[in-house]
Structure 1
């Protein structure tokens, strides 16, 4: 149990935290990665309760560890959800709402622009060592939220639900430049339609909005690194707050894009 219970918490994080949480990643890779992390963490875990694995207490502990891992990983999943929301809002404003396909992560339709921004965020996720900070927060959670037989896990799920508002706040912040530019484009098209009623605005409207959208996206793309980095830093800070991890434990993120 000194190995199985920590492994359960680690697998809970891997099940939902990007990028390993993606359903396209084979289950064998997820389990193997979790086993390796558990072998590293297990020797340093504080004393665990003496409970039979097949008893009701053992099953409750197992369930508790899995839920804690899900909660920690869900924080980072919310950060990626904010980026997906930004891409969806921009895609709908550009007229690319029809350019959608099946997303294995959410098991639903998602826009192509959302997946493009998620791919950029995934590259930043590894280049800024966010995956290291996330794993360190998970490892330290075994000290701040020890494995016990009590129902009080020590994880603040209420604060986790409140942090979910970052999906809408960060998504709107990331998409504001494009939405503002496209709004001005639509206003200009409206004025042009009033000035020349014989002009077929439906024939040229989509072409203009899509062209302007990609043009503005290409202009602001180099500047998206800092907002996305800030969003990831907020997610790590949320993990620290919800796990009550000391601030000096998590390493500072590198900033190669400044």
Structure 2
């Protein structure tokens, strides 16, 4: 007859519960896997399956009663870690959407927006298009698998321990968030330069040939030029986006190391 005592039960609960909290928090905030179109039950089920799969290979977990205040604090800590790791990769996609905002503003498409259920706000058409391209490339490069692998490695860098997190880790997240503007501007820079050149040419034309209504022809020319440039530039963005994703994976590792005080 198989007998299970309370110590074994607590050991099994602890081996599953803490990884589950960290994985679920990442699945709730990370790009692609954390989209609102994915049902919450699917996210919880996937997090549970992953926690069961990786629990035997993880370092020993602290033996805490699941109903104690110490366990509650440890669970909140793991949720915060998972959210921070998920936001790290979300920042890379935010940079792509920012690039779409910059390009749409120069093309005159800043008013062309619609409600995006993924973000819960109005999103520019070009931002949504670039986000879809980045998502497809992310999946094609197995980015979701690399991201989950980086999460599992954080259990070695930042083991589950009832201790305070190093405050420098949140500084790493804030530093990485600067890439929203920096990388977004770099991605949109070729089109911004060309469209500014077109607008400058329209301004000079308006001063030399005042009888020509630049406002009537300027918008179609800017829009057509932007479409042509998009067709030329978009196939070349895969290298930039893959490098951005790589920096996101490295930032996840740096964040985990900084939170651990390394």
Q: Select the residue among 119, 125, 128 that pairs with 1:112.
A: 125
Match of 2:251 in 1: 238
1:28 matched to 2:29? no
CA distance in 1, matches of 2:36, 2:245: 22
Work out the number of aligned pairs and report it: 245
Match of 1:170 in 2: 183
1:70 matched to 2:83? yes
Match of 1:133 in 2: 146
- CA contact under 8 A between 1:159 and 1:242: conserved in structure 2? yes
CA distance in 2, matches of 1:91, 1:231: 21
Structure ranking higher in helix proportion = 2
RMSD: 1.5
Q: Select the residue among 132, 143, 146 that pairs with 2:156.
A: 143
CA distance in 2, matches of 1:237, 1:152: 19
CA distance in 2, matches of 1:196, 1:144: 66
Match of 1:101 in 2: 114
> Structure 1 stretches of 5 or more lacking a match?
246-258
- CA contact under 8 A between 1:102 and 1:109: conserved in structure 2? yes
**Displacement of 1:154 after TM fit?**
8.8
Match of 1:193 in 2: 206
**Displacement of 1:47 after TM fit?**
1.7
TM-score for the superposition, normalised by structure 2: 0.90
TM-score for the superposition, normalised by structure 1: 0.91
- CA contact under 8 A between 1:75 and 1:239: conserved in structure 2? yes
Q: Select the residue among 81, 87, 110 that pairs with 2:94.
A: 81
